[in-house]
Chains A and B, each alone.
Chain A
Amino acid sequence: MTDHPHDKLQDPPLSARFMENAAASVDALRRNPTMLFGLVVLTVIALLSFGAPYFGLPDPMRQAPINRLQDPSAAHWFGTDMYGRDLFSRVLHGGQISLVVGLSVAALATSIGLLVGLVAGFSRRVDAVVMRFMDALMSIPSILLAIALVALWGSSVPNVIIALTIPEVPRVVRLVRSVVLMLRDQTFVQAAIASGTSTVKILYRHIMPNTIPPLIVQATYICAQAVIFEAYLSFVGAGTPPEIPSWGNIMAEGRMFFFQNFGIIMYPGIFLAITVFAINTFGDGLRDSLDPRMKRRI
């Protein structure tokens, strides 16, 4: 059965498929300036954040109390914080945490949600149990749940990622499940069942590909949300360990001094807002090009 001729027909060589997909992506980007804009801004932010260690900036952790709370100058573009640390360097380095957290939460939540949603959508027995469980999880406001988890597990980047992932999973499950329920009764799935295709293969081959477009769009929104929530968690003291310069931590430290130097809150805040804005714009554009019917909605 493994060498079924139809399998060969459906699968052109991987390299050809990749080239085709790449060409299609470039084309989609050209036709969709919003998405391109989001992508370009995100790339710039990512380059600035992950390139920060190589720009020859001052060490983001080095304290120089004599320079504390300075206004922006040629030496310190964004000024300095209450320990005299260079704010520009800290803000650039801080982007690393936000991006890592955002991307990890989006990847984790969509993969777990995809798996659970596929199974729940296809098996009525699993569905009844899992969905009640998801309903309960969704009744707890996500930030509170994340705060409670980090408060107990302790501050660390992996804990923040897991704590932000858990509340997002039910939303992904619902999305995937709704697609599966819609497809389950369609002719091509019924035909696959009738011709004796195994359930696993139906899910993997016929149903999963259809869940991917809405899932990718959902992932961008989860990513944007996670970037903001990471900052909230750090702000209330249940986030990234305070010694790591994340945007949330920089802003949390700055609140005591916001009268003297508003920049400590403002600069990371602006970077964070631009990042989230770019992710959302990218997601909106992606949605429009993946599903043109949705274009006028929301």
Chain B
Amino acid sequence: MLAYVVRRLLATIPIMALVAVFVFMLLHMSPGDPAVVIAGDFATAAQVEEIRTQLGLNDPLYLQFVNWTAGLFRGDLGNSIYSGLPVSRLIGQRVEPTFMLTLTTMIIAITLAIPLGVIAAWKVGTWIDRAVMTVAVLGFSLPVFVLGYALILGGSVRLGWFPVQGYTSIFTSVPGFLRHITLPALTLGLVYMALIARMTRATMLEVLNEDYVRTAYAKGLPTRKVLLKHALKNAMVPISTTIGLGLALLIGGVVVTESVFAIPGLGRLTVDAVLRTDYPVIQGVILVFSLTYVLLNLLIDLTYVLFDPRIRY
């Protein structure tokens, strides 16, 4: 197991190195002079020159890359062009809300989606199945922010149950945190839920056709036990793969959701950075999100052991 973890971690190194090259090259893939783009339409020649010096754009390309990579190893992602603060510190300040939002969303989505998928597969072809699947397809079709604003209008403005926008840390006040996180988590979670429910239903349908499920029924086990112990447990491997890959959707949704609900997280940082073409910040956020995504998927691969003891690492 440990050997496998080490091997997989080592295998992520070349991938992350390539990601780093991409992210570095992003700046140089612009059609014109990146310094001019970043400085904006109304910048003076001196301002453009200042940015060029600050980003080291006067150095030869290979030297820029070496310096940039050396910085990465020190945890130095460069400085924000807008505020001059280190990007690593800006990201550090914003991690908590994004982490908590994503975690809450995952918990809500997974605990709702898997039972829904199981029920849909169990009652396949009935109105329950069709209702679950329709909601799932709708979940794919509705843009995150439309749902977000609709929930604000309904849940906060009309009913007054939830605060309109903003964020309270769970360390400051637990009820405050829960009141602030519910609507964004529901907004963000719908697509994710749709994805997991569809996958759960599909895999369950396959597993329910297996001989051992018929055997389990035949020997008189209660339906609940057959569904959960025999079928779901065997369906969990593809489902957890989907949970991992779906994180990419979640990360994309976070950027929009945080803007809608004015949550001061990494998504907001990204949007603000885009509006100011603050490129070091954009690069830093992409690197952090990609690394998280790769590592979380590794973590999910490791959970397969829980569901299928035949898998040995």
Q: Quick one: which of A251-298 are within 8 Å of B by CB?
A: 251, 255, 258-259, 262, 265-266, 269-270, 272-274, 276-277, 280-281, 284, 296-298
- Contact A280:B141 (CB < 8 A) given known A140-B19, A152-B277, A269-B146: yes
Query: CB distance A144 to B26 under 8 Å?
Result: no
- Interface stretch of the complex, out of A10-18, A129-137, A183-191, A203-211: A129-137
- Interface stretch of the complex, out of A53-61, A74-82, A106-114, A231-239: A231-239
Q: How far is the CA of A149 from the CA of B22 in the complex (A)?
A: 11
Q: How far is the CA of A272 from the CA of B140 in the complex (A)?
A: 11
Closest chain A CB from B206 CB (angstroms): 7
Query: CB distance B15 to A140 under 8 Å?
Result: no
Q: Quick one: which of B258-313 are within 8 Å of A by CB?
A: 259-260, 270-271, 273-275, 277, 279, 282-283, 285-286, 289-290, 293-294
Cβ-based interface call for A195 (8 A): no
- Interface stretch of the complex, out of B49-57, B60-68, B213-221, B247-255: B247-255
Query: CB distance A132 to B18 under 8 Å?
Result: yes
Query: CB distance A269 to B18 under 8 Å?
Result: no
Query: CB distance B275 to A237 under 8 Å?
Result: yes
- Contact A231:B143 (CB < 8 A) given known A132-B14, A139-B294, A152-B27: yes
* One of A135, A229, A255, A259 near B157 (C-beta < 8 A): A259
Query: CB distance B138 to A277 under 8 Å?
Result: yes
- Contact A144:B149 (CB < 8 A) given known A224-B140, A259-B157: no
B residues in contact with A139, CB < 8 Å: 15-16, 19, 290, 293-294
Query: CB distance B290 to A141 under 8 Å?
Result: yes
Q: How far is the CA of A140 from the CA of B288 in the complex (A)?
A: 10
With both beta carbons as reference points, the residue of chain A lying nearest to B145 in the complex is identified as A235
Binary contact readout B30-59 vs A (1 if CB under 8 angstroms, 0 otherwise): 110010010000000000000000000000
- Contact A273:B293 (CB < 8 A) given known A152-B26, A152-B30: no
With both beta carbons as reference points, the residue of chain A lying nearest to B164 in the complex is identified as A259
Cβ-based interface call for A83 (8 A): no
Chain B interface size range:
35 or more
Cβ-based interface call for B6 (8 A): no
Q: How far is the CA of A147 from the CA of B279 in the complex (A)?
A: 11
Closest chain B CB from A128 CB (angstroms): 12
Q: How far is the CA of A284 from the CA of B141 in the complex (A)?
A: 13
* Most chain B CB inside 10 Å of its own CB: which residue of A133, A136, A231: A136
Closest chain A CB from B184 CB (angstroms): 15
* Most chain A CB inside 10 Å of its own CB: which residue of B34, B143, B279, B290: B143
Binary contact readout A136-176 vs B (1 if CB under 8 angstroms, 0 otherwise): 11011111110111011110000000000000000000000
Query: CB distance A141 to B248 under 8 Å?
Result: yes
Closest chain B CB from A254 CB (angstroms): 8
Q: How far is the CA of A198 from the CA of B18 in the complex (A)?
A: 34
B residues in contact with A255, CB < 8 Å: 145, 149, 260
A interface residue numbers (CB < 8 A to B):
132-133, 135-137, 139-145, 147-149, 151-154, 224, 228-229, 231-232, 235-238, 251, 255, 258-259, 262, 265-266, 269-270, 272-274, 276-277, 280-281, 284, 296-298
- Known contacts A136-B18, A265-B146; 16 additional CB pairs below 8 A are A140-B23, A141-B293, A147-B270, A151-B274, A152-B30, A153-B31, A224-B141, A232-B255, A235-B259, A236-B271, A238-B274, A258-B153, A262-B150, A265-B145, A269-B143, A269-B146
Can you list the 3 inter-chain pairs with the closest CB atoms, starting with the nearest? A143-B252, A136-B18, A269-B146
B interface residue numbers (CB < 8 A to A):
14-16, 18-19, 21-23, 26-27, 29-31, 34, 37, 137-138, 140-146, 149-150, 152-153, 157, 198-199, 201-202, 205-206, 248, 251-252, 255-256, 259-260, 270-271, 273-275, 277, 279, 282-283, 285-286, 289-290, 293-294
